[in-house]
Amino acid sequence: MLDKNQIAKRIAKEVKNGQFINLGIGIPTLVANYIPENLEVVLQSENGLLGIGPFPTEENVDPDLINAGKQTITMVQGSSLFSSADSFAMIRGGHIHLTILGAMEVSENGDIANWKIPGKMVKGMGGAMDLVASAENIIVAMQHCSKDGQSKLLKECSLPITGMRCVKKIVTDLAVLDVLPEGGFRLLERAPGVSVDEIKAKTEGKLVIDGEIPEMVFD
């Protein structure tokens, strides 16, 4: 089983040179720590920045420079700043190559639910609905099962969805899976020490297993 940092590390292997990437709050933010140094990528913050840098040192904290998670940040060389309307024009227009975000549920046709639990205080969708409706490639980072052991990879989402047929890949603590265009989760890799049978048992949606499933390799 992978911990949060390992999930982030595995997702980082999906990043390609030259990409513009939006990282959601939580595990996705950790992905930035594992992107290989030889890749040139640009991280977008949907409140209005291209080129997120590392967190500032104590003396460089600037309250006028935060990311979408409201954390203080810095900018890398070559950054640009813009309004939220321009930022979402960028997102909606398909200019961001890769969006990585967390989820509460994903369905076998790629629907994602990550904004609302009926009966609980609803905080809002923020930019998630715009991001999932627009990005050409969406990778979800999440736990395979909820805390009470229920699968989060479902035939259909039980929670109100954030977007339809949009998730392309999922990295969980147990596995890496593609969402097939015709529906179904195709198992690609197992986490170290996790068996195919365990993944089968913990995946409620249709699971497609083609041949031998390798264990993930970390460098």
Partner 1 sequence: MINKTVKDATEAVKDVFSNSVLMFGGFGLCGIPENCLRALLLKDLTGLTCISNNAGVDDFGIGLMLQKHMVKKMISSYVGENAEFERQLLSGELEVELIPQGTLAERVRAGGAGIPAFFTPAGVGTEVADGKEIREFDGKLYLLERWLKADFSFVKAWKGDTAGNLIFKGTARNFNPMMATAGRITIAEVEELVPAGELDPNQIHTPGIYVHRIFQGEKYEKRIEQRTVSK
Answer yes or no whether residue 5 interacts with partner 1 by CB under 8 A: no
Quote the least distance from Cβ 204 to partner 1, whole Å. Answer: 20
Enumerate residues 117-136 that contact partner 1 by CB under 8 A.
Answer: 121-130, 133-134
Binding segment (CB under 8 A) for partner 1, from list 56-64, 167-175, 177-185, 199-207:
56-64
Q: What token pair was written down for 120?
A: 């609980």
**Residue of the chain from 93, 149, 193, 211 that contacts partner 1 (CB under 8 A):** 93
Cβ distance to partner 1 smaller for residue 187 or 205: 205
Enumerate residues 177-216 that contact partner 1 by CB under 8 A.
Answer: none
Q: What token pair was written down for 153?
A: 């990879």
**Residue of the chain from 99, 107, 143, 162 that contacts partner 1 (CB under 8 A):** 162
Q: Give the 3-state secondary structure of 7-28.
A: HHHHHHCCCCCCCEEEECCCHH
Residue type, 119: G
Alpha-carbon distances, residue 123 vs 13, 26, 91, 115 (angstroms): 32, 16, 22, 8
Total residues found in the chain within this entry: 219
Selecting among 14, 40, 46, 59, the annotated active-site residue is: 46
Cβ distance to partner 1 smaller for residue 46 or 108: 46
- Number of CB atoms found within 10 A of residue 66's CB: 16
Asked if 142 and 159 touch (Cβ cutoff 8 Å), the reply is no
Residue 46 falls in the annotated catalytic set: yes
Binding segment (CB under 8 A) for partner 1, from list 158-166, 171-179, 182-190, 198-206:
158-166
